[in-house]
Amino acid sequence: MQDETSHLGGVDPILRGFMSTAVKRPHRMTPAITEKMFGSTDLGSLNIQRGRDHAIPSYNTMRKFCGLPKAVDFEDFSDMILDRNL
């Protein structure tokens, strides 16, 4: 997978696409959803738990699966993000 990404110009084109595409929904969940919709449990934590229930691997687990090292901070992406302005 890493070779395919490198062949396509790295992740820079993907990041540029994300930054130039308008989002059709709010960036954050409103307090009405996170604090009031399900009483004492918010939707964000329900979604995280749902992912755990379905055994969706963590981000770093998927990086390892793809042959990438564990990411601890944004500097760990410097080998993949070629344009330092992104």
Is there a domain that residue 18 lies in? yes
Residue range(s) defining the domain that contains residue 15: 2-77
pLDDT surpasses 60 at 46: yes
Which pLDDT value is given to residue 15?
81
Q: Say how far apart CA 6 and CA 11 lie, in whole Å.
A: 8
Q: Domain count of the chain?
A: 1
Q: Among the residues of 1-86, which ranges form H helices?
A: 2-7, 12-20, 31, 43-53, 59-65
Nearest to 2, CA basis, from 69, 68, 70: 68
pLDDT in the model for residue 63: 87
What pLDDT is stored for residue 53 in this prediction?
Answer: 93
Residue whose token pair is 């062949």: 7
Residues 53-78 pLDDT 10s: 999 998 889 889 988 888 898 888 77
Domain-embedded: residue 86: no
In a domain, 84, yes or no: no
Percent pLDDT > 90 in the chain is: 5
pLDDT band at 23 (very low <50, low <70, confident <90, very high): low
Euclidean distance between CA atoms 44 and 63, whole angstroms: 23
In a domain, 82, yes or no: no
